[in-house]
Each structure stands twice: as structure tokens, then as C-alpha cells.
A and B are shown apart, each in its own frame.
Chain A
């Protein structure tokens, strides 16, 4: 399986290198044939169903093992919700729902959700790339049971749209919308944990790119007669980016290698805290060393830093997970800290 994954990673890199460029990111609409061509190539290679069970036509590679793929996709700044589709399809498949073809997006937040007669009403919030697909996964608790809800004809009133350069996001209000499938989610699946892990892996892929951009820019840009990278003040700032990134990557590889030992393992929380914190530092430093050019729409840095700003707030920010970890240790544990940590 490791070999299989290696091949998939290589193929993916090739596809993305071929299609993704910064002008593609500035026109994320379903009419853009370049966007469609990219998606077709992605789908032809089976990437959306990489973690889907074989009986549903997937590769059945465990979700935790494909996190390096998520990193690559976002390292290239792919302006399509492939990461969201992979996680949605995994959750659907684990809930015994056959995932649809095409893009599937998800909602991490909802408000006043009502479900009656296989129909759904309420507000579905901060949905990425809703302009590119009709397929949506919602995870919602009904009578103390968490359910996976698949909608394949999403339709409603857009109450808020954030269409800036990075990924588009929508809040949508739906009324008596047909549910395509609804099933209880398996016990070992926690959408919030998986979402936090997904967003962290995405952030790490983007942060790797930001570090590369910063190193390249500072090595080429000359001021006061020498490259910026020759100034110690700049070297130290970029080193700090690398330090933060390496800590986040270490936290990610714990999960890639180990999976979540138990559904509620601390590893997801640690990862989201670590990656979210690193993102804050890296956004600030990368813009600082880039100067004004980094603040333009034309230069690609901002595509990545804007996405970091979205992702670090999704599925709980650092404070949320810090409180989660702290509470869990203090309330449910009489052990001293060292025993708990080891």
C-alpha cells in the first residue's frame, strides 16, 4: 500500500504541476474550463475516492495515511476542494453511503437545522466552494446520534458570500431541501477531529510553500547592495518560520503514522493547536519579509496566507483545542501531569 501511495503522490504532483497556476486561482468558477479540466484529471486518477471503500469504487487507503496527499494538494495551492471531497467521501463511505461522483463539499457549522420527512431546513455556514458543486455533506446530531447527511441538489438563499482571492465560502439558508441519504455515523468517526486534522494537513502543505516562496524571494531581491537573505535579521525571521513548521509537521506525522489510537486521542488537538499557532507566525513573518509585493493580488503569497487564515479558524481554533486538552486533563484525571503525558 505504501508503494501504491507513493505512485499516487507522484501522479498527483504531476497533474497539479500541469494545471495549477496563479491565474487559475483568480477565476474559481464552474464556467472556467481550466478548472473543469483540472477536476477531470483529478477524478480520472481516482483521487476523490482514495479513502473510500473498494465496494464503492475507492482505493480504500486509510484516511490518516493519505494526509501526505492533502499536504501536496495544498502545497500546490490547488483551487479546488479536493481535500474537502476526500474527507467527505471517506465519512460517507464509512457511514455506508455510496459517495457521489464529482466534487463533494462539507459544512463544518450549521444554525437552526431542522430535519423532517427526509427534508432539511436551516442555515448551513461557511461552506467552501459551494459554487462548484451541488453535493454537500453535513454531519448533524439527531436524538443523540450523529448522522451523515448527503445532499446532492443543494439549493437555497445565499446569505453571505466571501469571494475573495482564496477559496470561496458561502453561508446558505435552505428550506425543505431533499436529503439524498442519511445514516448514523460510525462510532470511530468524529467529524470535528477529522476536520481539524484535515485543515492542519492543508495548513502544513501551504506553510511549506510559503517558506519556499520566502526563501526564494529573499534570495533574489537585493536591497542595500545585497540579497535580503544575507541580512541576519531576515535569516533569523525565516529560521523562525522553519522552526514553527517543523513542529507542526512533527505533530502531523504522529497521526499519519499512528492514526488516532482512540477516537478522542489528544493528537488531533495537539496538531490543530500547533499548526494554528505556526500559521499565525508564518503569515506575519512571510508578509514582513516579502514587503509590499506580498500584499498584492498578483503575487501568489496572499493566496496561501488567506487560506491559512480560514483554516486555522475551522473546526476549532487554538483556544478551543487548548481548552479541550486542559479540561480533559484537569477534570477527568487525578494523575499528575507527567503520568498523564507519558
Chain B
């Protein structure tokens, strides 16, 4: 079991001060009506001007090196900032993917030109990314992607479709996982490569897919023989699988896996504090214990990432527990409606609750399903 340790990391005074600073900033924004806290904001609530503002505060690309416009701060500092943004339901969707995974991926695998042209814009909150992994025929089975990149005289020709690309309609780039040579008989993970694709190129077609809430964040992105320059390749040709696995660790371990609906919980408690004292201490205690454990684990993964480790399995633990927690939280609140009927809840709270109920099935799909998380863990346990 030593593989699954989550070393304890203390929140230092410097981190607490940073937390305070971010919190004050957010409170001001809310007081000035710059945004309304919303649920699942890192997926649904995009506001490029807010992203730019966050960038100018130095809260994007926090751990990126200074030479590329970054702030050379720690992953723990970034963790604290993201927790504050998520727990307040701030509109962070525009920059979320770029700041969480794409920037780090480019810094790790990109060439000089890719780094110097893109990283400073991510840090400024001016350059947004979409994820190019899933395809119409490849969901959980990511290695089966059919999008193909073929070498040409001047670069590459990209052909295929990506789907569920959250925010692609607002994004400037997508990191696309594509096949550059056929899979070998023995190893399907060979022959995949990652490409840095400018979404404004000719023959890129982005079509919205309304989700079951009626909102648009999903897209299908068609690459109809898109001509890519030679230096669009991200990292090494044929090493795309290894690269994408690392990217997923960044994607899965953060506090968005358990704080997506925190605004709902917060408003719920503020509204019903008095009834909860009489008949809800137990449920509140249960929720507190879960959140604190998850924060503790996720913070620990942030420190592993900072130390250059590859906590893919630990990330799966956080995601799996976080998803379960959010579902349990919604159910717990639903049961409380036996004490105060739902129709007596303030309208805004009813909306938040109904919205969360509607969205919650997606939490254990996006970023890898429960089944995939359990498979990753089983592999580490030596069962596969």
C-alpha cells in the first residue's frame, strides 16, 4: 500500500495569506456584481474578462517559469488559489483547462517556439484551451482514437473528429491526441502523438452540442484535412500515450473534483443553519469530514506534482472519492427536504439544487469514468 500514500502537507502562513488575498478579491468582485456565483463554474461559467483580471493578479500560470511570463510559485500556491475560486463559484471556465493542464503540458514537452509564443498568453488570461482526447468512437477507450496525423512536405495533415470538447468554441488551441503510425499488435499505446492545434486554422469546424441542461459547453470539433506546420507536434512523435497519461493526472486530482457544487452547500447551510442545529448536525458533520479528507488528499497530490512525481493513481483516488462525495452531498440535501419541503426553499437555492441534481451525473464521466478510475487502481494493486 505504500504506493498510495498521501503525505501530509501543512498550509503555511504564506499560503494562508495568499488565500486571504484571493478571498478579498473575490468578495469585491461579488459586491461589485462582476459575477454571480454559479455551480460547476469551471465547466459552465466562462468570462474571458474575468480570466484576464485573474491573470493580471498573477494567479494564472502560477508555477510557470518567469522567462515565459509565469510566476515561479509553487503548485501549492496554485492549489490555494483554485480552491478559493472554486468554492466561490467564480467564472473560471474560459482559462481553466489552459491553466490546469495545457500550459504544464507545453512547458514539459513543447519546443522553444511553442513555449514562448503561448505560455505568456496563458499566464495573462488571454489564451484558452480545449482538450482533444475523446472521439465519437473513443470514450473511455482512449487508445482507440482514430484521428490521424500524416507527415507532409511542410508539416502534418490532421484528419478526424474530437468530441465533448468543453469550451472549444471559446478556445484558441486544442491539444489533440492523434495516431501518427498504426498501433502495433502488442501495444496499442504506441504510435500516438500529441499536437498543438490552432483552432482558427482553415478546415477546423466546431459545432456546439447542447447538454441535458440545455446549455452549451460541449462541442464536436472536426479536423477536415487541416494543414499543420511542422512544429505543431507537441513532444515526441509516438510518445503521445505517455504524455497524455501525465496530462490526466493534472486533470483529475484538483479540488474541482469535490468543490464543483460547494456554492450550493454553502448557501444551503447559511439558509437552514437553525433547522440544521436541531435536525441536521449529523449530516453537516459527515459532509465536513469528507470535504476535509478530500482537501487533505488533493493538496498532497499538488505537492507531488510540484516535486515532479507522477501521481496518476493518487489522482484517480481523489477523483473517485470526490465524485462520490458530490453525489452523496446532493442526496443528503434532497433528504433534508423532508424537514423543510423543497418548495419552501428560497428560489435561488431551489435553482442551485435542481441545477446540481441535473448536472451531477456528469461528474463521474468527465475526466475519466468511475470504471476507468477503478481500473487504474486495480492495475496498481496488481490485479490486472
Question: A-side interface residues toward B, CB under 8 Å?
Answer: 208, 211-212, 215, 218-219, 229-230, 232, 234-236, 238-240, 242-243, 245-247, 249-251, 253-254, 256-258, 266, 269-270, 273-274, 318-319, 321-327, 329-331, 336-338, 341-342
Contacts and interface: CB of A to CB of B under 8 A. Distances in A.
Contact of B292 (A229, A266, A331, A336): A266
Contacts of B265: 337
Interface of B: 1, 4-8, 10, 16, 19, 83, 87-88, 262, 265-266, 269-270, 273, 276-277, 280-286, 288-289, 291-297, 300, 317, 320-321, 371, 373-375, 377-378, 381-384
B156 to A, nearest CB: 37
Contacts of B288: 266, 270, 325-326, 329, 337, 341
Given A322-B285, A327-B281, A242 B269 contact: no
State the main secondary structure of chain A at its contact with B. Answer: helix
A238 B286 contact: no
Given A270-B292, A325-B288, A240 B281 contact: no
B119 to A, nearest CB: 30
Contacts of B5: 249, 253
Nearest to A211: B1
A270 B8 contact: no
17 contacts: A211-B1, A215-B381, A236-B378, A239-B378, A245-B4, A246-B317, A249-B1, A249-B5, A251-B296, A254-B296, A270-B292, A273-B286, A274-B289, A322-B281, A326-B276, A326-B288, A330-B277
Contacts of B293: 247, 250-251, 270, 274
B285 A249 contact: no
A254 B292 CA distance: 11
A208, A215, A235: residue with the most chain B Cβ atoms closer than 10 Å: A235
Contacts of A254: 8, 296
A212, A219, A236, A258: residue with the most chain B Cβ atoms closer than 10 Å: A236
Contacts of B383: 215, 218-219, 229-230, 234-235, 238
B266 A273 contact: no
Nearest to A236: B374
A120 to B, nearest CB: 34
A326 B284 contact: yes
B382 A208 contact: no
Contacts of B320: 243
Contact of A273 (B1, B87, B285, B371): B285
A258 B19 contact: no
A33 to B, nearest CB: 34
B286 A235 contact: no
B374 A239 contact: yes
B283 A326 contact: yes
B6 A250 contact: yes
Given A218-B383, A219-B382, A254-B8, A247 B321 contact: yes
10 pairs of A and B residues whose beta carbons are closest in the complex:
A326-B281, A326-B285, A322-B285, A325-B285, A326-B284, A235-B378, A257-B8, A239-B374, A239-B377, A250-B6
A273 B289 contact: yes
B321 A338 contact: no
A342 B88 CA distance: 13
Nearest to A321: B285
A257 B373 CA distance: 29
Given A247-B297, A338-B87, A323 B266 contact: no
A273 B1 CA distance: 21
A329 B285 CA distance: 8
B282 A319 contact: yes
Given A257-B10, A329-B285, 9 more contacts: A208-B1, A236-B374, A239-B381, A247-B293, A253-B5, A253-B6, A257-B7, A274-B289, A319-B282
Contact of A243 (B284, B295, B377, B384): B377
B155 to A, nearest CB: 42
B284 A329 contact: yes
B10 A258 contact: yes
A246 B282 contact: no
B323 to A, nearest CB: 11
B142 to A, nearest CB: 17
B317 A326 contact: no
Contacts of A240: 374
Contacts of A329: 284-285, 288
Contact of B262 (A219, A229, A338): A338
Contact of B269 (A321, A331, A336): A336
A264 B377 CA distance: 35
A330 B279 CA distance: 11
Contact of B6 (A211, A239, A246, A326): A246
Contacts of A246: 1, 4, 6, 297, 317
B276 A238 contact: no
Nearest to B373: A239
Contacts of A238: 378, 381, 383
Given A245-B1, A336-B269, A215 B8 contact: no
A211 B295 CA distance: 24
Contact of A322 (B7, B87, B286, B300): B286
Nearest to B284: A326
Contacts of B296: 250-251, 254
Contacts of B374: 235-236, 239-240
Nearest to B384: A235
Contact of A330 (B8, B266, B281, B371): B281
Nearest to A228: B383
B88, B269, B282: residue with the most chain A Cβ atoms closer than 10 Å: B282
A239 B374 CA distance: 6
Nearest to B317: A246
